[in-house]
Amino acid sequence: MDVLGRFSSPHEAFQSAALRSPDAPFLVAPASAQLPYAREGFRLGYGAVGMQVEAARVAYARAGYGRGARVALLLDSRPEFFVHWLALNALGVAIVPINPDLRPDELAFQLTLADVDLAVGTGDRIAPLARAPEFARFRPIELGAPVPDCRKAVTAQAGDLAAECALLFTSGSTGKPKGCILSNRYFLQVAQWYHGQGGIAALQPEGEVNLTPLPMFHMNALGCSAVGMMVQGGAVVPLDRFHASRWWASVADSGATVIHCLGVIPAILLQLPPSPDERRHKVRFAFAPGVDVRHRAAFEDRFGIRIVDAWAMTETGGAAATTTAKVPPGFGARCIGEPAASMAYRIVDEQGGEVAAGQAGELLVRAAGVDPRAGFFSGYLDDAAATEEAWQGGWFHTGDFVQAGEDGLLYFFDRKKSIVRRSGENIAVLEVESVLQRQEGVRATAVTPVPDELRGEEVFAFIVTDPDDTTDKAAFAERIARESAALIAYHKLPGYVAFVSELPLSATKKLARGEIKQLAAQAVSEGTAIDLRTLKAGLRKH
């Protein structure tokens, strides 16, 4: 599908579908999803939503909104989110989708950096802002309220490929979140890549129903699920979040043909008792990056749904992405598949030289062709230095370590900042975490490097256990180390362990790696961590 050749914005793609098939479903949610704002569910056609979009567009246009303005949307994944997004997109206005879990200081930071002219949301989301004087400058209004006049000088009331479509924030695991400026071209190219995966992810020309529990402040949901369906007139099932107990009923009742989820979701679903709902679905594939290889096989066998793994970043979008859609079933652990045709890449060492065949190195990417940044993010908002640093040497530095297999596929190794460099060995913290997570009594874990005078860095593990667990923690730590020694090489075992009630998370619910690293170093220096280095050395012989 030549998405870029047909459309210049998501609104244009939506409008084309609405004119072509006004009665086709666009937004769907079954009653079994039990959405708090739509207990009976909904089924809204392109034509009906199109009328709402046009009414909202007229209201914003009369108030003077256009290119150069940004509007924050505190609407989660409700139908109203799509109405306001598309109405604003038609005028060239950028949206700033807001994470509902942000605390006041985090929210203020994002709204201030984005310099939003207006914040629109539901009553429960807007009321706290309306009551707080520090948020008054963002002019929070509730759905249905009159739109106040735009206070910014806009350049036009129309969008094109280069116009800013949305401002999405990175997780900010090592500092304040960065605002990624994403253009209309960016989202259309995400949709084009999504449609071009082929293989088991080949999409039908009409009738697709894409169910996602992922939030619209992530490029996966906004680009792949939403714009991916708009360009071909498919339907979106925007769940509020993942609910294990009603997942399969929601999938079956919605008529979903494609589902999106995080890597941990298949593992959770496999723990559920058998249900008739789990096999009455119409799903052809699950787009689920990061699924453990053991869970993948069990999931595909039990539920009859093939899993597609992939790699991309908010910054790269569909211009540089990989997929396993055409890879035969049973592919190896950590395989992220084949690079997109539009993507050029290198795998380099710390000095920027090409790594030897089969070795892991940092993945550098760019768009194939004359413009290396075509289809990528437009830059970090108000941070030109960080943007240019990321593009050093004309290649985008992903910060991800990968290796190329003999099969020509790429394999994810680890995040660059999540590797323990111990005695010259690169240890992937994700690998250690996956092993620790399998040990009895471990509810959650986070692994990070800490300084070590002898070996450069040592492996440190934070572990969350059951609140009522009264086991001696030192004995518990030793048992975990001994049992893990049967699964991974001794040098990968934790040299230190600390037990905590919860792990630090970022606003997007990812592990806050930067904070975890600082807390680990503090625990070692203060002597509050359990030192397993002597035990670890002894396990080398076994």
What does the alpha-carbon distance between residue 347 and residue 366 come to, in Å, rounded to a whole number?
A: 12
Report how far residue 141's alpha carbon sits from residue 118's, in angstroms, rounded to the nearest whole number.
8
Q: In the chain, pLDDT over 90 holds for what percent of residues?
A: 74
Round to whole Å and give the CA distance between 408 and 337. Answer: 9
Over the Cα atoms of the chain, what is R_g? 24
Could you report the per-residue pLDDT of 286-320, keeping only the tens digit for each? 999 888 888 899 999 999 999 999 999 999 999 99
**Which domain-ending residue is among 399, 420, 441?**
420
For 322-372, the pLDDT digits (tens) are 999 999 998 988 899 999 999 999 999 989 999 998 899 999 999 999 999
> Could you say which of 281, 308, 335 is where a domain stops?
308
Q: 384: part of which helix (H) or strand (E)?
A: helix 384-390
What pTM value is reported for the model? 0.82
Q: Across residues 73-93, what is the average pLDDT?
A: 98
Is the domain of 396 the same as that of 514?
A: no
Give the pLDDT band (50/70/90) at residue 172.
very low
Band of residue 174 on the pLDDT scale cut at 50, 70, 90: very low
> CA nearest 488: which of 438, 533, 452, 446?
438
Predicted pLDDT at 402: 95
Amino acid letter for position 382: D
pLDDT tens, position by position, 187-238: 999 999 999 999 999 999 999 999 999 999 999 999 999 999 999 999 999 9
Q: Which two tokens stand for residue 157?
A: 């009331």
In tens, the pLDDT along 112-168 reads 999 999 999 999 999 999 999 999 999 999 999 999 999 999 999 999 999 999 999
DSSP 528: -
- Identify the pLDDT of residue 1: 83
Do 427 and 412 share a structural domain? no
Spatial distance between the Cα atoms of 311 and 112, rounded to a whole number of angstroms = 31
- Residue 392's CATH number: 2.30.38.10
CA nearest to 439, candidates 465, 417, 419, 473: 465
Identify whether the C-beta of residue 376 lies closer than 8 Å to the C-beta of residue 186: yes
**Predicted local distance difference test score (pLDDT) of residue 205:** 92
- Which of 3-7, 184-188, 459-463, 467-471 shows the lowest per-residue confidence on average (mean pLDDT)? 467-471
The dihedrals phi and psi of 446, each to the nearest 5 degrees, come to -140, 130
Count the alpha carbons within 13 Å of 477 in the hemisphere toward its beta carbon. 23
Q: Reply yes or no on whether the pLDDT at 540 is more than 80.
A: no
Whole-angstrom distance, CA of residue 218 vs CA of residue 100: 13
In this structure, the answer to whether residues 319 and 284 fall within a common structural domain is no
Look at residue 155 in the predicted model and tell me its pLDDT.
94
pLDDT category at 425 given cuts 50, 70, 90 is low
- Please tell me whether residues 351 and 492 are part of one structural domain: no
Residues 468 and 387 in one domain: no
CA–chain centroid gap for 459, Å, is: 27
Output 72 or 541, whichever has higher pLDDT.
72
328 and 450 in a common domain? no
Q: Are residues 80 and 147 in the same domain?
A: yes
Q: Tell which residue, 177, 37, 178, 179, has the closest CA to residue 103.
A: 177
> Are residue 118 and residue 30 in the same domain, yes or no?
yes
Please answer whether residues 522 and 476 qualify as being in contact, where contact means their C-beta atoms are separated by less than 8 angstroms: no
Instruction: Find residue 448's DSSP bridge partners.
Output: 460
Does 329 share its domain with 283? no
Give the C-alpha separation, 114 to 72, whole Å.
9
Structure-block tokens of residue 529: 């961590």
Distance CA 94, CA 75 (A): 15
Q: What is the per-residue DSSP string for 32-67?
A: GG-BTTBTT-EEEEHHHHHHHHHHHHHHHHHTT--T
Q: Give the span between the Cα atoms of 101 and 327, in whole angstroms.
A: 37
169 and 279 belong to one structural domain: yes
* Domain residue limits at 443: 423-539
Q: How confident is the model at residue 516 (pLDDT cuts 50, 70, 90)?
A: very high
State how many domains the chain has. 3
Within 13 Å, how many C-alpha atoms sit on residue 501's CB side? 2
Contacts of residue 281, defined as CB under 8 A and 6 or more positions apart, other chains included, come to 248, 251, 252, 256, 303, 305
Do residues 304 and 336 both lie within one domain? Answer: no
Q: Give the mean model confidence (pLDDT) for residues 276-283.
A: 95
Helix H or strand E encompassing 357: none
Give the CATH number, domain containing residue 36.
3.40.50.12780
**52 CB-contact burial (10 Å; exposed 0-12 / middle 13-18 / buried 19+):** middle
- The pLDDT of residue 428 is 76
| Cβ contact 330:297 at 8 Å | yes
Q: Are 367 and 471 found together in one domain?
A: no
Lowest mean pLDDT among 95-99, 168-172, 260-264: 168-172
Of the residues 420, 454, 480, the one at which a domain ends: 420
